[in-house]
Chains A and B, each alone.
Chain A
Amino acid sequence: MSVAAEITSAPAPAQVSPHAVRGGLKAGQRRIGMLLLLPAAIAFGLVILYPFLQALALSLFEYTLETPAPRFYGLGNFAKIAATPDVWQAFVTTAIYVFFTTTGTLILGLGWALILNQPFRGRGLLRSMSLLPWVLPSTVSAFVWGWIFNSRYGVLNAFLLELGVIDMPQAWLSTSTGAMIAVIITKIWLSIPLFMAFFLAGLQNMDREQVDAARVDGANNWAILRDHVLPHLRPVLIVVVVLGVIGNLQQFDTIYALTGGGPVRATAVLSVEVYRRAFEQWDVGFASAIGVLWVATLLPPAFLYLRMLVKGA
């Protein structure tokens, strides 16, 4: 589920309260403010900041099972990456995965939100139920889709055979393309609910009168969608895409549980690659170096995200 995880925080307009300003004049208040923050700051430093800096540093060291004491290696790990096509492949795999999961979820999440925004009987129940894929444990999502994609007894093969789309059962999870399709579909499925929730919230504060006026002027459904709904949703769209990309770039759990990164390396995105190098081959310095480049791919969306937050504040 590592969903959309990151997708959750969104920029809110941060108002500086007048009380805060006045409080700032008093040293006592300032001290209390810092004390309240202290426990979280210590925890943050211990389990987030320190490990992050440590990983950055480790990327410059050779640190393997054979060299248990880290040895300074300069840019050696990065040179090793340049000479390892498998790692480049992980970047390509990640790009494909992130592109298809994000666009797929965007289209279906938006479509589903537009549908659930129309009044019809049973809509409330459908809205609640729609959130279920998002809250399921990642292993469970992987089980559900692993069973559907199963080559011998899977319902997908049976269905496609029945329709005549395929003439023999496909071994989805043991072919490169099939496995990639499976991990992408699983991630789209579990992220739709969250995207939908964001879009629904955006649709609910839309100006009805504007739409009604346009309709009186003769606009059809398509024109309303294009000229009014989509422009109105633009800010939400940006938030969702940015947070979606950040989340998909980091996805590990469902991929690992469904394919383990295989067959061979077909679905080995960066998260899986780093995990394998660090915890299966114990090449910690090398894994950290890949991780540093991985963080670099996260910088552009993270920068956009922070800029939105700062603007909001």
Chain B
Amino acid sequence: MFDLSSTVSKVVFGLLLGLIGLFLFFPLYWLAISSVKSNAELYSIVPTPFPLAPTLTHFVTALTTGKLPMYLFNSLVASGASAALNTLLALYAGYSFAKYRFAGRQPVMLFMLSAQMFPFGLLLISIYPLMSEIGLLDTRTGLILSYIVFALPVSTYMLYSYFSQVPDELIEAARADGASDLRIFHTIVIPISIPPIVTVFLYSFMWSWNDLLYSMTLIVSDEKRTIGPGLLLTYLNEVNSDWGGAMAASLLASAPIVAAFLFLQRYFIQGVTAGAVK
């Protein structure tokens, strides 16, 4: 796009690359090296740019003495179940919006999408007494159901966009062969839609995994607590701050989502930005 043959343009390019790059990546570098520094090194007045004597103490402590593994497990259950539920709901709704016509289709879809402007915090004010009334406060089920709030509208829209592009001839041909609507969807459409389905699953998984507010409010007992509030309560409280432990635990808490993301990112970016630039 730009011509970088002149010295001035090279310098400007290099400077911008360096500065923004530093801003984006230095915190990640600092997270990583702080997790392997000893406490003596962490709490020295002049920070060391490289760990002098790398140690895995913080990781061992986090995994063996704390409740971190339990929080991670709870997050995995809550996020996995809510992502599965959310994907399933969005799958049928997106297909319905894309391939069927019925009264109110367009307004209903726009209304669902506009729900993104309902602040999650405001919804929580009424979700809390609702969950309390139906006996789901402080339960995994309650949290899993509430997590639908985060991703259902966007997921439905992402799948709707994708299904709109599935050729109608494909469906018509199967229908001519006498296949039922559900059968066509399950055996013909879903198998060719794996990438967007995976994207939507990962998208909603990410939202739940990264949540702090809902889990902090709807879950009271420690044994059901997820990783977001779990980290906060364990490492930074009024009494003491264990920064080395916090950094190690942060890496452990990020690992699953980062791994999934790196593995599937190509689909993911396509799904998320789809349509914005058309």
Q: Give me the interface of A with B, judged by CB distance under 8 Å.
A: 1-2, 5-6, 8-21, 23-24, 29-30, 32-34, 36-37, 39-41, 43-44, 46-52, 54-55, 58, 108, 111-112, 114-115, 117-118, 126, 128-133, 135-140, 143-148, 150, 152-155, 158, 189, 192-194, 197-198, 201-203, 205-206, 211, 215, 220-221, 224-225, 229, 235-236, 239-240, 246, 249-250, 252-253, 256-257, 270-271, 274-275, 278-279, 284, 287-288, 291, 294-295, 298-299, 301-302, 305-306, 309-310, 312-313
Contacts and interface: CB of A to CB of B under 8 A. Distances in A.
Given A147-B31, A253-B211, 4 more contacts: A36-B96, A43-B148, A147-B243, A197-B273
Contact of A256 (B17, B119, B213): B213
Nearest to A6: B116
A249 to B, nearest CB: 8
B120 A44 contact: no
B254 A50 contact: no
13 contacts: A9-B157, A14-B161, A33-B102, A34-B100, A47-B148, A54-B130, A118-B4, A137-B250, A144-B31, A198-B273, A225-B2, A278-B124, A291-B122
Contact of B231 (A16, A139, A155): A139
A23 B100 contact: yes
Contact of B27 (A6, A133, A287): A133
Interface stretch (B41-49, B50-58, B59-67): B41-49
Given A139-B227, A153-B47, A239-B276, A117 B98 contact: no
B78 interface: no
| Interface secondary structure of A, over-half rule | helix
A281 to B, nearest CB: 12
The list of the 5 closest CB pairs from A to B, nearest first, reads A33-B100, A12-B275, A24-B101, A10-B276, A19-B168
B1 A229 contact: yes
A305 B257 CA distance: 29
B171 A55 contact: no
Given A13-B278, A139-B228, A256 B253 contact: no
A133 B118 CA distance: 25
B106 interface: yes
Contacts, number: 358
B59 to A, nearest CB: 15
B213 A275 contact: yes
Of listed B95, B160, B165, B272, residue having the most chain A CB within 10 A: B272
Interface in B250-278: 250, 253-254, 257-258, 261-262, 265, 269, 272-278
B90 interface: yes
